[in-house]
Amino acid sequence: MAIDFKKRLDNEILVCDGAMGTYLNQKGLSYDRCFDELNLSQPDLVGEVHRDYIEAGADIIETNSFGANIFRLSTHGLAHAVREINLKAAKIARDAREISGVDVLVAGSIGPLGKPIEPFGRITLEQAKEGFREQAEALLEGGVDLFMIETISSLDEMTVAVEAVKAVSNLPIVAQVTFTAEGSTYFGHSPAEVAARLLPLEIDVLGANCSVGPQKMLEVIEQMGELGVPYISAQPNAGLPKYFGGRFIYLSSADYFAEYAKLFVQRGARIIGGCCGTTPEHIKAVSEAVKGSPVKKPKSKIRIKEKIEDKQISLITRATTRFIENLGKGLAVSVEIDPPKGTNPTKMIDAAVRLKEAGADAVNIADSPMARVRMSCMSLAYLIRQSVDIDIILHYTTRDRNLMGLQSDLIGAFAVGIRNILALTGDPPSIGDYPQATAVYDVDSIGLVKIISMLNSGYDFAGNSIGKPTEFSIGVAANPASEDLDTEIVRLKQKIDAGGQYIMTQPLYELDILKRFLDKLGAIDIPILLGILPLVSHKHAQFLHYEVPGIDIPERILQAMEKAGEDSARVGGELSSEFISSARSLVGGIYLMPSFGRFETCIEIVRNIKS
């Protein structure tokens, strides 16, 4: 079949099928469903979709396996079913071909992993490659004729996917990249840069799919044709969707879509199909419009290098804020304020006023610590800023926000005057009040630092200009008491390299642990703020030691708190002050964390430090 595919590419325009997911939605299935799982629970329905497209005139049908990789399936509790789902996907498509009696090609659909890979995301290149390989092996075993790697915007991810497929198969590969309306990928790469990166991988067809409608995609296809890309595919969405009557309706009619299909062919495309919103009606119109059209031969010379423009972004990884300036003027102090569990912020605003009067340089606003529901950290930061002239360090986690939400909120935070961000991955929902809640974690804290650095440079994650750059100082967290200190140090240095300007540690209670951490870390050029959480009782100390991840309280302190009895809050404050006195020459600042909203002890410690 591989020879047949190449021969047919050389001699005719091939029509691919249209959307699977949106067409299934039109048939009544909710987007909440795992469409890939339908291969197991509703194979007849999936087969019906394939037969509809074959009847419409498709020469290529794609398996229902777009999201059937271990990372996407794991969100549905189906990580164990990767092989079974992909095998079944290939079988259903082949059975549809047999039932229809039409010699169509079955393409194994492989979509993106669903989460960014390194350096921004938490998935390593090796993990990504293994995920793609596992899927490709199952599709190959199922009997696909070629692979269609599609809807991928990261060239790193596409490269890994192609390499993974090539490692297990010599079948043809169609690599389809997603472009924005601006004609670049979400990471800012032009068609020329995409071609320069992917063609050396010896893929068989390079193309574009999803994201935009026919009009915008035509511009991308034109550029690929001008570059001399030998085999091009085009599978746009049916325009932009409109939400109506509980469903997304795509606006491009079949006739409109078919007119652009003819233009795609004129610009050099060999495979024409559809993505989101397209139906058998669209594919029928495309088939009638392009079949029998003369094949436009590619330019004799691939002109890529001369088209590439250097679009390297020089990251600004250091921003000067008032807090950063204060860090260089003696021992800086910041005190954490947890947002309220309800709607009344009065106590927190009053605490900020008292901390300012005591001499604190900043207040930290936590982001739903311990994964418990509280007022938005952004809202409380704004309310405090409106009432108190004190620097705010906004804790910002990647747990609850996807890539778009992260950037939108950060841009909004800068617009309302927030200038200091502590970049955190965030406590997982499993330890909080809603263990069944779904965490996002598109990126981890390292990726977040890089995103903030890009915003400081005037660009979003995709490399698009945001106009005036942000000017955030970037804080990063560290746990000096980590059981795996070597890994902790490696990750901390990655955060520093990505743009971290100061370090705020987890609460510590022993000088030796701090010294061991500093020795392991070695010389760095950014200040460290030592985390201090004054104990209020023996029960409190036990809870932190035995139940809170990352906090280790020495036995001598546990015993001292037990012995203190009713005087334990005072003793806890004195122990904290003694530790600060012994450690102040080793750090650039102190980060105080009051417990249970009790600010009196922390206010007294601030006065002592600043006196």
* Tens-place pLDDT, residues 489-542: 999 999 999 999 999 999 999 999 999 999 999 999 999 999 999 999 999 999
Please tell me the distance from the alpha carbon of residue 297 to that of residue 300, in angstroms, as a whole number: 9
Region 164-190: what's the mean pLDDT? 91
Please tell me the distance from the alpha carbon of residue 580 to that of residue 508, in angstroms, as a whole number: 10
Does residue 118 have a pLDDT over 90? no
Share of the chain above pLDDT 70, in %: 92
Does residue 313 have a pLDDT over 60? no
Question: Predicted confidence band at 430 (pLDDT cuts at 50, 70, 90)?
Answer: low
Summarize the chain as % helix, strand, coil (round to 5).
45, 15, 40
Question: What value does the mean pLDDT of the chain take?
Answer: 90
Q: CA separation (Å) from 466 to 319, 411, 458, 461?
A: 17, 9, 5, 10
Edge-to-edge strands, sheet with 269-272? 14-15, 269-272, 232-235, 205-209, 173-177, 146-152, 105-110, 60-62
Q: β-strands 502-507, 528-532: how paired?
A: parallel
Please tell me the distance from the alpha carbon of residue 575 to that of residue 570, in angstroms, as a whole number: 9
Does residue 93 have a pLDDT over 50? yes
Amino acid (one-letter) located at 434: Y
pLDDT tens figures, 180-212: 888 888 777 889 999 999 999 999 999 999 878
> Which residues make beta-bridge pairs with 473?
420
pLDDT: which is higher, 217 or 244: 217
Does residue 445 have a pLDDT over 50? yes
Check: CB of residue 366 under 8 Å from CB of residue 339.
yes
Does residue 1 have a pLDDT over 50? no
Question: Predicted confidence band at 308 (pLDDT cuts at 50, 70, 90)?
Answer: very low
Sign of CA dihedral 468, 469, 473, 475: positive
Residue 246: the pLDDT is 54
Does residue 145 have a pLDDT over 70? yes
Which run of H or E residues covers position 47?
helix 43-56
What radius of gyration do the chain's Cα atoms show? 28
Question: Predicted confidence band at 309 (pLDDT cuts at 50, 70, 90)?
Answer: very low
Reported as half-sphere exposure (CB side, CA atoms, 13 A), residue 290 has a value of 35
Residue 240: the pLDDT is 67
- Residue-wise over 404-442: b if at least 16 C-beta within 10 A, else e? eebbebbeebbeeebbbbbbbbbbebeebeeeeeebbbb
Residue with tokens 């004129």: 266
Chain centroid to CA 187:
12
Structure tokens that stand for 440 in this block: 């996002």
Which residue segments constitute the domains of the chain, with CATH numbers given?
2-307 (3.20.20.330), 322-610 (3.20.20.220)
Please tell me the distance from the alpha carbon of residue 165 to that of residue 528, in angstroms, as a whole number: 46
> Which phi and psi angles does 207 have, rounded to 5°?
-160, -165
> Which phi and psi angles does 117 have, rounded to 5°?
-95, 170
Picking from 256, 317, 267, the residue whose alpha carbon sits closest to that of residue 469 is: 317
Check: CB of residue 213 under 8 Å from CB of residue 237.
yes
Share of the chain above pLDDT 90, in %: 71
Check: CB of residue 398 under 8 Å from CB of residue 443.
yes
Reported as half-sphere exposure (CB side, CA atoms, 13 A), residue 89 has a value of 34
The reported pTM is: 0.73
Please tell me the distance from the alpha carbon of residue 295 to that of residue 291, in angstroms, as a whole number: 10
Question: Predicted confidence band at 29 (pLDDT cuts at 50, 70, 90)?
Answer: confident
Region 552-565: what's the mean pLDDT? 91
- pLDDT winner (highest mean) among 27-36, 125-134, 246-255: 125-134
Angle at 494 between CA 491 and CA 497, to 5 degrees: 155
Neighbours of 103 (CB within 10 A): 10
Which run of H or E residues covers position 248?
strand 247-250
Residue 465: the pLDDT is 84
Helix (H, G, I), strand (E, B) or coil at 24: helix
Q: Of the ranges 76-90, 309-323, 349-363, 542-556, which one carries the lowest mean pLDDT score?
A: 309-323
Please tell me the distance from the alpha carbon of residue 607 to that of residue 577, in angstroms, as a whole number: 11
Q: Which residues contact 380 (CB under 8 A, 6 or more apart)?
A: 337, 339, 340, 345, 348, 365
Residue 260: the pLDDT is 94
Does residue 127 have a pLDDT over 70? yes
Structure tokens that stand for 578 in this block: 């003694």
pLDDT tens figures, 389-413: 999 999 999 988 888 899 999 999 9
Instruction: Provide the Cα torsion 380, 384, 387, 388; round to 10°.
Output: 180
